[in-house]
Amino acid sequence: RKEVEQDPGPFNVPEGATVAFNCTYSNSASQSFFWYRQDCRKEPKLLMSVYSSGNEDGRFTAQLNRASQYISLLIRDSKLSDSATYLCVVRPSGRRALTFGSGTRLQVQP
Amino acid sequence: SAVISQKPSRDICQRGTSLTIQCQVDSQVTMMFWYRQQPGQSLTLIATANQGSEATYESGFVIDKFPISRPNLTFSTLTVSNMSPEDSSIYLCSFLGLAGADTQYFGPGTRLTVL
């Protein structure tokens, strides 16, 4: 079983749509959780950290369910510029390096 | 946040040769890492570059194939040795900032093609 699992997509949505991505992780002792965004042929960049209480940054909302070992990202009012691959990322307990999911590709269409 | 650069940005190499990738951060960082991203795949950690000592390698990666140096807190190199086409990938360096920082930043990557 992979440490971090994501639906690879692609998710093809129209502009203005709301889209949700889910992710599960296998190590129950994992301590930190993130969503990174990776544009084509670019390096990953931090989109947002994910906290147990849930957190929101503009159109983006991230939630963590530790009991189910499940992380989600909700994007509201999708823009063309949101088209990218969204990586679910976990920092396992006792490690400083990150473990990446395989990514979910989003394509927002006009 | 610190700025991180890599050289070369891309290269095309012949089978059996070696390539050294350089990673430079413009401020001192506590930890540096090297990742590989094969075509269509996500990132896989190769090793943690330790300042002044041998790197710590992940399962499936060995020092003879991927020697790493980190002579100071701002610079590291990764060598891909005796290359084969299977080594064609993007290689990314990454760092954690100040002690206790939780966010990991990535360099722009080196796109390697082995013929």
The phi and psi torsions of A83 (rounded to 5 degrees) equal -60, 120
- On whether any CB of chain A is under 8 Å from the CB of B33, the answer is yes
DSSP 8-class letter at B50: P
Contact B85, B12 (CB under 8 A): no
Distance CA B105, CA A23 (A): 21
Strand partners for A65: A70
Least confident of A30-39, A65-74, B17-26, B50-59: B50-59
Which of A32, A43, A87 is closest, CB to CB, to B102? A32
Distance CA B52, CA A4 (A): 32
State the count of interchain CB pairs (< 8 A) between A and B. 43
Q: Which residue has the higher pLDDT, B54 or A86?
A: A86
Concatenating the DSSP letter of every residue in A16-34 gives: T--EEEEEEES-TT--EEE
Omega of the bond leading into B8 within 30 degrees of 0 (cis):
yes
Contact A85, A101 (CB under 8 A): no
Partner-chain contact A43 B108, CB within 8 Å: yes
Least confident of A3-7, A78-82, A83-87: A3-7
Q: For chain B, first and last CA: distance in Å?
A: 37
**pLDDT (tens digit, 9 = 90+) per residue, A20-61?**
999 999 988 888 999 999 999 899 999 999 988 889 999 999
pLDDT band at A70 (very low <50, low <70, confident <90, very high): very high
Tell me what pLDDT residue B100 has.
57
Largest CA distance in chain A: 44
Beta strand pairing status for B43-49 and B31-37?
Answer: antiparallel
Structure-token pair, residue B56: 């710590």
Which of A34, A43, A97 is closest, CB to CB, to B109? A43
Tell me what pLDDT residue B99 has.
54
Beta strand pairing status for B68-72 and B75-80?
Answer: antiparallel
The mean pLDDT of chain A is 93
Tell me what pLDDT residue A102 has.
93
Task: Select the residue from A36, A98, A99, A104 to test the B interface by mutation, using most B Cβ atoms within 10 A.
Answer: A98
Tell me what pLDDT residue A92 has.
86
pLDDT of A1 strictly over 80: no
